[in-house]
């Protein structure tokens, strides 16, 4: 490592350490003198609760107060659609249980926000942000919600999202829904939070919750995590159950954790995974996989071979992002990793084939969900008709081109669908597998996304085009993003992309990088 690289690493580490010190000095109490838990991680919160210096009821109320002060008022981030009216009651019961028999595990009493396309059998609605789904209260929890409740989590709220997980229009503004309106980025409220898990990311970034759950079909966890300066994990397809989640496409959909630190996200992932007989992929969950939070080490990058993906979408569009990648490479080298640069993967035809798959599967999967869950709408055709008859409130800015395209598709037995599915999976999976094997790599890295763009109701999303999510999304393989730097205060994430069920490995890599100074810089939004 050169003296310049060493100096840069030291400066970065000292800067993040300085932020931590300032947080301890000035972030320990709120303006009215109450304790401020905004930047506390799960381990610290559990330690305080074990010592009797904090309980889940107090923590839950702290987040509810921040939601009122920051999300509903103040900068009005608009990340939360609905607060769970039973949250305090649940937290109080978990406090009593802790006193009587001890905590169930690391998630005991920890508040969690869920994306509003995840079923909960309580008083909250599951709407995917759509007025067409207003009033939908599923009869059962999604499997991952059952797991979270069993782990002792407090289901705090439902988060806003890009309506229908951003599968309604080709001209949409990410983070907008007809129920929730426009979610704002806490690093600049005129800037976009990306999507579709917009509210989940913003609620974590603005410390309105400890952790949150998002869902992804292609970039919907990692993009909002990147532009909101947090950690997001897109698990291997089948690691996390898909049952009880409003779908886009079963061949790419997955839920995943979002947190302010790698370990927080890993703790949440541990609570979410498990075999689910209702999901054919998750029913084959590999029980031999280690726990994700218990295997983290600062030394996990030493001797590992990391490839730098250079032909991702938008590569070279922003020299400032390129510099963040270069600095990250220097840090990885300092941590003992061997860098292979460049790595290029042939993705020709993958996007077009995947797009066809999504149209076919959206129609089939959504119709199945609507019928099984007792939703107010029974088919995609009914939703399209509702949107047209309520266009002033549902479609004031953009239309439903994706839904109309999906509605024209036939059954999943159509040769066009079968061929597209085979093509998209072959290109993505073969591309990653060959790159890892030929270069003897443990993982790939790439910038997750460029800086957040200005929210634009007229023209829709118009980012720099930098994105590396598609390979992991289409292949169904694992990826994780963590904060790596910023462009004029706007966060930039770096992604590790790995093989199938390499989730534990790339989480370890992200943790080691985080411990070298790649922690987040909190936004300035305050009550």
Tell me the pLDDT tens digit for each residue of 442-469.
Answer: 999 999 999 999 999 999 999 889 999 9
Residue 28 lies in a domain: no
- CA dist 87 and 111 (Å) reads 8
Q: What is the per-residue pLDDT for 259?
A: 98
Peptide bond into 427 cis (omega under 30): no
Mean pLDDT of 318-335: 98
Number of structural domains found in the chain: 1
Q: What is the per-residue pLDDT for 288?
A: 58
Residue, of 463 and 189, whose pLDDT is higher: 189
CATH of the domain at 94: 3.90.1300.10
Residue 520 lies in a domain: no
Residue 9 lies in a domain: no
Residue 123 lies in a domain: yes
In 10 A of CB 520, how many CB atoms? 23
| Span between the terminal Cα atoms of the chain, in Å | 43
* Model pLDDT for residues 415-440, shown as the tens digit of each residue: 999 999 999 999 999 999 999 999 99
Q: What is the per-residue pLDDT for 6?
A: 40
- CA dist 231 and 484 (Å) reads 10
- CA dist 397 and 383 (Å) reads 17
Q: What H or E segment, with its residue span, contains residue 47?
A: helix 42-51
Residue, of 253 and 290, whose pLDDT is higher: 253
Residue 468 lies in a domain: yes
Helices 503-515 and 319-334: angle between axes, nearest 10 degrees: 90
Strands of 80-83's sheet in order across = 80-83, 154-159, 111-115, 211-216, 254-259, 231-234, 479-487, 490-497, 443-447, 305-309, 338-343
* Model pLDDT for residues 70-106, shown as the tens digit of each residue: 999 999 999 999 999 999 999 999 999 999 999 999 9
Phi, psi angles (nearest 5°) of residue 178: -70, -20
Three-class SS state of 508: helix
Mean pLDDT of 147-160: 98
- CA dist 37 and 209 (Å) reads 10
- CA dist 417 and 160 (Å) reads 31
Query: Per-residue confidence at 140, pLDDT binned at 50, 70, 90?
Result: very high
Query: Per-residue confidence at 31, pLDDT binned at 50, 70, 90?
Result: low
Q: What is the per-residue pLDDT for 464?
A: 84
Residue, of 283 and 398, whose pLDDT is higher: 398
Three-class SS state of 444: strand
Residue 83 lies in a domain: yes
34, pLDDT greater than 90: no
Residue 31 lies in a domain: no
Query: Per-residue confidence at 20, pLDDT binned at 50, 70, 90?
Result: very low
- Tell me the average pLDDT of the chain: 93
Q: What is the per-residue pLDDT for 230?
A: 98
Structure tokens at 473: 């999304």
Mean pLDDT of 309-328: 97
Mean pLDDT of 183-210: 98
Among 18-22, 233-237, 258-262, which stretch is predicted with the lowest mean pLDDT?
18-22
The DSSP 8-state label assigned to residue 210 in this structure reads: S
Angle at 514 between CA 228 and CA 263, to 5 degrees: 80
Residue 6 lies in a domain: no
Please give the share of the chain, as a percent, with pLDDT higher than 70.
92
* Model pLDDT for residues 251-271, shown as the tens digit of each residue: 999 999 999 999 999 999 999
DSSP code string of 361-404: HHHHHHHHHHHHHT-S--SHHHHHHHHHHTHHHH-SS---HHHH
Query: Per-residue confidence at 19, pLDDT binned at 50, 70, 90?
Result: very low
In 10 A of CB 242, how many CB atoms? 23
Residue, of 144 and 10, whose pLDDT is higher: 144
11, pLDDT greater than 80: no
- CA dist 185 and 44 (Å) reads 26
10, pLDDT greater than 90: no
21, pLDDT greater than 90: no
Active centre residues (catalytic) = 115, 196, 220
Please give the share of the chain, as a percent, with pLDDT higher than 90.
90
161, pLDDT greater than 50: yes
Expressed as residue numbers, the domain containing 98 is 37-515
Q: What is the per-residue pLDDT for 13?
A: 37
- CA dist 83 and 85 (Å) reads 6
Query: Whole-model pTM?
Result: 0.94
Q: What is the per-residue pLDDT for 1?
A: 42
Q: What is the per-residue pLDDT for 128?
A: 98
β-partners of residue 143 are none
CA dist list (Å): 2 to 8, 336, 494? 10, 14, 22
Q: What is the per-residue pLDDT for 295?
A: 81
Structure tokens at 342: 């460049």
């Amino acid at each position: 490592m050169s003296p310049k690289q060493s100096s840069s690493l030291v400066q970065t580490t000292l800067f993040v350490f300085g932020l931590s010190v300032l947080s301890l000095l000035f972030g320990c109490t709120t303006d009215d003198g109450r304790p401020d838990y905004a930047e506390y991680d799960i381990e610290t919160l559990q330690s305080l609760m074990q010592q009797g210096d904090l309980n889940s009821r107090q923590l839950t109320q702290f987040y509810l107060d921040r939601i009122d002060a920051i999300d509903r008022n103040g900068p009005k981030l608009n990340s939360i659609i609905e607060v769970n009216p039973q949250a305090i009651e649940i937290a109080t019961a978990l406090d009593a249980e802790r006193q009587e028999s001890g905590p169930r595990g690391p998630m005991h009493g920890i508040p969690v926000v869920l994306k509003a396309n995840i079923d909960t059998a309580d008083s909250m609605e599951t709407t995917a942000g759509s007025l067409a789904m207003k009033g939908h209260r599923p009869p059962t929890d999604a499997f991952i919600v059952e797991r979270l409740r069993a782990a002792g989590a407090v289901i705090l709220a439902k988060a806003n999202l890009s309506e229908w997980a951003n599968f309604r229009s080709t001209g949409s503004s990410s983070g907008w829904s007809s129920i929730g309106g426009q979610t704002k980025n806490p690093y600049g409220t005129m800037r976009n939070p990306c999507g579709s898990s917009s509210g989940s990311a913003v609620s974590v970034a603005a410390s309105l919750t400890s952790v949150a759950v998002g869902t992804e079909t292609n970039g919907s966890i990692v993009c909002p995590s990147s532009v909101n300066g947090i950690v997001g994990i897109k698990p291997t397809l089948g690691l996390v159950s898909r049952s009880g989640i409003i779908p886009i496409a079963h061949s790419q959909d997955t839920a995943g954790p979002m947190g302010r630190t790698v370990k927080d996200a890993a703790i949440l992932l541990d609570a979410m995974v498990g075999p689910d007989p209702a999901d054919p992929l998750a029913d084959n969950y590999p029980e031999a996989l280690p726990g994700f939070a218990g295997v983290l080490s600062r030394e996990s990058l030493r001797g590992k071979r990391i490839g730098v993906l250079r032909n991702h979408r938008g590569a070279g569009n922003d020299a400032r992002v390129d510099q963040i990648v270069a600095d990250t490479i220097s840090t990885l080298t300092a941590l003992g990793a061997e860098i292979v640069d460049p790595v290029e993967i042939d993705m020709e035809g993958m996007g077009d084939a995947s797009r066809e798959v999504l149209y076919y599967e959206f129609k089939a999967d959504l119709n199945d969900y609507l019928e099984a869950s007792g939703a107010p709408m029974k088919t995609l055709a009914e939703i399209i008709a509702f949107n047209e008859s309520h266009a002033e409130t549902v479609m004031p800015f953009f239309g439903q081109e994706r839904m109309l395209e999906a509605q024209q598709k036939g059954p999943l037995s159509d040769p066009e669908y079968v061929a597209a599915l085979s093509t998209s999976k072959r290109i993505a999976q073969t591309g990653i597998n060959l790159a890892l094997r030929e270069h003897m790599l443990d993982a790939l890295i790439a910038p997750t996304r460029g800086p957040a763009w200005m929210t634009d109701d007229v023209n829709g999303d118009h980012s720099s085009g930098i994105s590396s999510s598609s390979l992991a999304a289409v292949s169904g393989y694992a990826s994780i993003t963590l904060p790596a730097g910023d462009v004029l205060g706007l966060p930039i994430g770096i992604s590790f992309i790995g093989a199938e069920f390499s989730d534990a490995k790339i989480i370890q890599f992200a943790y080691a990088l985080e411990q070298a100074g790649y922690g987040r810089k909190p936004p300035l939004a305050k009550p």
